[in-house]
Structure 1
């Protein structure tokens, strides 16, 4: 016999196999017990017959509770009526542990209770589906850039300075000096792009923003490509190809998980390039026509992004925001110096911004002036200024938050379900 994972059932039909897992549920019918067992790769129905396993093992089977751990040996057979299309006729049952009463039962639980038991909530079929899709999105991100000649060059988590000021950063003591938990790997990616041409970094980022909206986490993961010699139009092209690739990968490999989440695949099938592109000024016009009080010079909040994104059936790229709204490093439009060569990609169905980026200042003098205008410490950015002294070229990039992308693709109401252990304003446990 062979030890088998449940998702390998098709290769073992008719064979005697061993499955190791946990009990999801049990249904009794006379001298038969029907066990739904999960092993992390899938679910399978196992049939325990008193006539086959004997009195002792049948009695042991009757003691099993939700999440009890067990090892089952039996004959695997195809059955279209069974979960997953296969069923195990049990010959032997070994119980590793009869679990205590499981806190999460098949009934309605409050969000606070579920978050307090997040370490156990992860075992539910819904959370399993979400995190399987997250895994697929991450794999698709890496494949997209790897297949296009990008080099993965990770950025540090401890940084001596901030990308956009220190008001929303977590500060920590780094021996005898102050350090911050990174809010973006972008500045370091600019350095590696000057060495490798096309790069991306992928890792955790942190924002000490005291926000409780459904789109915010204190700790999240971000993938950030950076390309030497690229300009804003190049990034808009790259971003739409990137998102279309990710959505196609999920539709191909995780359609069953989308259906379990009751996510309509038809809405995702519309996510193909090219995406609509509108300027910031055109976005203001749309908002005003919709009765929104936005006026030129205003930054967009979640409500504004929701209105804009609902105007389109696929992501929309909003570009050339007022320079005053953007970070110190953002290049300005040579024809309109009051505008930044930047973009935000807004996901449809009201999910808002999932990608932000643009073209970086490549002039040493201009960047130095912007650092001083923003009252940032020049000495902390000296290495960043060096990039403009030794072979500076136009360059551009963007960042995509994994959790917001997962929330959109899965159709979730809140990003707290998109990461195994979310860190929110009032949530640091478990």
Structure 2
């Protein structure tokens, strides 16, 4: 990362955390260059970028100051409410001005294209840009293998309904798993098999047995920052899944929806270990930018392209949104915002883990070792009445999500847990929120 970008990100973080409050005078260019051990021109470039983003302003002969903000009002939520439920990005760090600039530039650049229906595979210039963007995470694919979708959900629904060249019918899903997809599979009566996934991982003997004997069309899995478990596969597990898929002619649908959050650069996606073109790689831009963008990417094997395109049929993603995303990635704004939000979420997870160390000494709650992403489960004692716990926490102004919805309704081996999300939980609230949850759980009056 360029030096001025790291300085910019550090100052933005200090502003968000309140270290640099509204009206605060930033260090002089000379002092900042000594503080960050860089040239004055580098500081001037960082300050100029912060001015352009309306985060700071300059006063001639005086210096640079933080713009007055209203960060104490959290977009419609009471400042007393601890939001451990929301999965959407933190609105307080949404890059409004950057993306508005990209939208305006997209209108100027693509003004004639906006009056056409476009290509159902996606805007060609965006797909060219995505070739190099995906390569940064070891997903190497030609432009023609990339299809832009209306969010990852659309790709998942198409894959569930379309026939596969292996001629098999069942979809294998983890339990627990992505709740919205599970509801879709149930509503559409699509044949489904299940396999348990816990903080300890998968039973790979069972996985192989299902691949071998159960007529599995594809295995749907989240390789990083699993929703709701927060855990990720290690390198050997990813290699094993790719090898079993090749051995038994089963496809893998790898939902890498949080590829950009706290990614270990030494751990590549399952797609990178696939030597036989049986992995469909899916990526969403919702967790980095905003859900309303409704843009996802599917990287498909050659033998699935035609069928997938037939089921997709028409252009259903905004050309303007695609054009704006193309510009947002090309000019480095996406990469910069990715670092900002990834660092922010890592710090919130760290605060959460410290709070658990402080208040959970009796071990009422069990959690996996999650250090990045936005989710972690609070596994509860069997005696806890989950519905009453959620109700009691709501009365204390703490929003949580019960784990029950992340299972198929027919699955009988459900574990009791709360899915905790830190994406909108403000840092100063997390400690008290964790303390309150543990207090409620430890009361033990559930009968």
**Which of the pair is proportionally richer in strand?**
1
TM-score calculated relative to the size of structure 2 = 0.25
Higher relative contact order (CA 8 A, sep 6+): 2
TM-score calculated relative to the size of structure 1 = 0.26
Choose 1 or 2 for highest CA Rg. 1
